[in-house]
Structure 1
């Protein structure tokens, strides 16, 4: 008889625990899902005719090297949960870029003069084509947790030449405000 009371108690506790855990996860994940460009700075900058050359100038100045076939990983010195959760995806993007012959460079947002007028969130990534033209600027991924399954940058890693940068302005996910 005691065993059936124990089973009945478990039959109530386990589903209740699952419901509470699911609601908690949904609540916490929604609280970390934010727009990549909440202030509209990237939107405004990307509508200017010299946007691509402005980004090239800023990042070329920070790296003091050619941007041909370069992937620039833009991070922040500030500790942020979203930067931590994106670590595995960032590594997989770096590995993919290296595999196709691109050079990876990592820069810290705070150390780059002029970048704050364009970007207000990290982690971010800038991909440059064979000619050193900007082909992508934005987040690594979208959605809850910024996981590699939601990657937005991967299709742009192997672009040979572009007519202009892809800038995903409507992205939402786990991003750090800078």
Structure 2
């Protein structure tokens, strides 16, 4: 009986600790409000273009040095990078610590953007949702796999919960 109580207590403690790390990707709804603008897609691509990067046909990985969730999601990030390479996309890694002007677009990290070969934003948001941000919960993969599918605008995911480091808190 003591073993059952100990196991149950340990399980509850693990669940409480895990839930304390779950955060909203866009906790202040700044991205959500910005994405309502018809010019958001172009504004983000223009801001990235100022970094003198060749953006057409790229997957842009936004990171921040002190983000614990970056380590948690690293295997998923690696699989997204491999998928991008297989689909002839360039992988570009941007550390937001070095490009603070981008923080107005990026509420949390790890985050990712897909820019198609016509230089149009197709996806922007988290890699995935859920506590461990793993491949089974991936949000970005369909936008890399099906980049040729006609789209009228980008898909912006702002209302996701998972392991994210909110940039406004750093």
- The two structures have a TM-score, normalised by structure 1, of 0.87
RMSD: 1.4
Residue pair 2:112, 2:125 contacting (<8 A) in 1 also: yes
Larger radius of gyration: 1
Contact 1:34–1:174 (Cα < 8 Å) also in 2: yes
Equivalent in the alignment of 2:63: 75
Q: What is the alpha-carbon distance in structure 1 between the residues aligned to residue 97 and residue 153 of structure 2?
A: 26
**Superposition TM-score, scaled by structure 2 size:** 0.91
Distance 1:153 1:15 in 2: 41
Please list every run of 5 or more consecutive structure 2 residues that lacks an aligned counterpart in the other structure.
none
| Conserved? CA contact 1:133–1:162, under 8 Å | no
Q: What's the CA shift for 1:41?
A: 1.4
Could you tell me how far apart the structure 2 residues matched to 1:29 and 1:22 are?
11
TM superposition shift of 1:139: 0.2
Cα distance, 1:111 vs structure 2: 2.1
Instruction: Choose which of 91, 97, 107 in structure 1 pairs with 2:94.
Output: 107
Runs (4 or more) in structure 1 with deviation over 4 Å come to none
Aligned to 1:66: 54
Structure 1 residue ranges without an equivalent (≥5): 1-11
Alignment size in residue pairs:
165
Larger fraction in helix: 1
State the 1:113 CA deviation: 4.5
